[in-house]
């Protein structure tokens, strides 16, 4: 059951990320934003079961506390992600950072509907 829930969560979050990508990035910065969103999507996919299992626990935590906890975990996951700097221009790196911030907002939207 949790495995199916994880697959559903991955699909929902992936679609949300894809809908928010720039379809025709015209600069390193815009490409960086898309790259940051993609990194965030991949990070969630790799860790989805952790999010789903912690969400399905039988604890007495209220809904808002669960949402906050999951958001904090996702943000920490992104904040600790290392991007190889020599490979990218400054604009691309700034875009990746912006993509991470955008994905945190998208995750907040997603998790409210998922919990």
pLDDT at 11: 95
- Residues 49 and 54: their CA atoms lie apart, in Å, by 8
pLDDT at 84: 80
Q: What global pTM score does this model have?
A: 0.87
Residue 108's SS3 state is helix
DSSP structure class, residue 24: S
Work out the burial of residue 62: count CB atoms within 10 Å of its CB; fewer than 13 is exposed, 13-18 middle, 19 or more buried: exposed
Residues 6+ apart with CB under 8 A from 46: none
Q: pLDDT tens across 20-68, in order?
A: 999 998 999 999 999 999 999 999 999 988 877 666 555 556 888 888 9
């Amino acid at each position: 059951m949790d495995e199916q829930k994880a697959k559903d969560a991955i699909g929902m979050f992936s679609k949300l990320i894809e809908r928010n990508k720039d379809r025709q990035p015209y600069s390193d910065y815009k490409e960086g934003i898309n790259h940051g969103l993609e990194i965030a999507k991949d990070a969630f996919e790799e860790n989805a079961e952790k999010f789903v299992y912690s969400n399905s626990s039988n604890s007495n935590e209220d809904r808002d506390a669960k949402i906050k906890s999951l958001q904090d975990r996702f943000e920490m996951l992104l904040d600790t992600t290392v991007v190889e700097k020599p490979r990218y221009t400054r604009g691309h790196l700034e875009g990746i950072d912006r993509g991470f911030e955008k994905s945190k907002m998208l995750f907040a939207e997603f998790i409210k509907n998922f919990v």
